[in-house]
């Protein structure tokens, strides 16, 4: 595949809206976008027609759209689908950062496509895009050990130690974003693999 064929055009950070959810595990995807914007002095602004906070990032002559949906997690596909349709962005050019139960805090993985593995945000995005072929950054939050406790677990704050690991992992992931944005998947995977080994 031509590495630039599916260069990223849209960066999405998943989470739930509202101050009561801002610091919870389910919002670590939004943490990444907020950190990215802070580092590059970008201002997320609410766009009501897309029900999202959106900005644009000009990097090396290319413009990337960046957003955090203002919907709750299980409806975030409405926003991602609407943006993709409006700007004619194919699923392969969409990059979604999200929390991942199957990885420990501080562990991150890049994934080119796949199913939702029970993640309601990914499920809704797949439904609205009618495709699984969007790129993902899986940010580890750990697992409570019992599937019946998952809903409560993701809606609570991580411990201080866990948060430090997650924040460090987000910072390092942002440093590796150029590989992902250019569509250089192998370099992206190699970089992220080296972070956690």
Cα 41 to chain centroid, rounded:
19
Predicted local distance difference test score (pLDDT) of residue 197: 53
How much is the average pLDDT of 117-142? 94
Q: pLDDT-based confidence at 186, cuts 50/70/90?
A: confident
Rounded Cα distance, 167 and 23, in Å: 12
Rounded Cα distance, 20 and 57, in Å: 28
- CB-based contacts of 148, cutoff 8 Å, min separation 6: none
pLDDT over 50 (residue 30): yes
Flag the least confident range among 1-10, 15-24, 29-38, 80-89: 1-10
pLDDT over 60 (residue 3): no
Tokens of 84: 């993709």
Q: pLDDT-based confidence at 196, cuts 50/70/90?
A: low
Q: pLDDT-based confidence at 95, cuts 50/70/90?
A: very high
Higher pLDDT, 197 or 159: 159
How much is the average pLDDT of 13-41? 96
Catalogue the active-site residues.
Answer: 26
- CB-based contacts of 49, cutoff 8 Å, min separation 6: 82
Rounded Cα distance, 127 and 122, in Å: 9
Helix (H) or strand (E) holding 128: helix 120-129
Q: Which CATH number fits domain 10-195: 3.20.20.70, 3.40.50.1470, 3.30.1340.10, 3.40.718.10?
A: 3.40.50.1470
Higher pLDDT, 178 or 72: 72
Higher pLDDT, 143 or 177: 143
The candidate with the shortest Cα–Cα distance to 124, out of 4, 10, 45, 16, is 16
Predicted local distance difference test score (pLDDT) of residue 2: 41
Residues 35-88 have pLDDT tens digits of 999 999 999 999 999 999 999 999 888 999 999 999 999 999 999 999 999 999
């Amino acid at each position: 595949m031509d590495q630039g064929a599916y260069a990223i055009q849209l960066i999405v950070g998943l989470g739930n809206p509202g101050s009561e959810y801002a610091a919870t595990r389910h919002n670590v995807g939004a943490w990444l976008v907020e950190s990215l914007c802070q580092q590059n002095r970008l201002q997320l602004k609410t766009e009501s027609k897309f029900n999202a906070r959106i900005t644009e990032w000009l990097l090396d002559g290319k413009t990337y759209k960046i957003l955090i949906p203002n919907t709750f997690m299980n409806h975030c596909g409405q926003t991602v689908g609407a943006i993709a349709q409006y700007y004619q962005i194919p699923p392969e050019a969409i990059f979604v950062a999200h929390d991942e139960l199957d990885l420990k805090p501080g562990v991150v993985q890049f994934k080119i496509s796949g199913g939702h593995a029970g993640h309601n945000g990914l499920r809704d995005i797949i439904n609205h895009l009618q495709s699984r072929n969007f790129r993902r950054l899986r940010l580890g939050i750990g697992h409570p050990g019992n599937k019946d406790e998952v809903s409560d677990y993701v809606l609570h704050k991580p411990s201080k130690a866990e948060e430090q690991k997650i924040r460090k992992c987000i910072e390092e992931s942002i440093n590796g974003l150029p590989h992902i944005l250019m569509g250089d998947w192998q370099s992206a995977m190699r970089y992220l693999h080296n972070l956690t080994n």
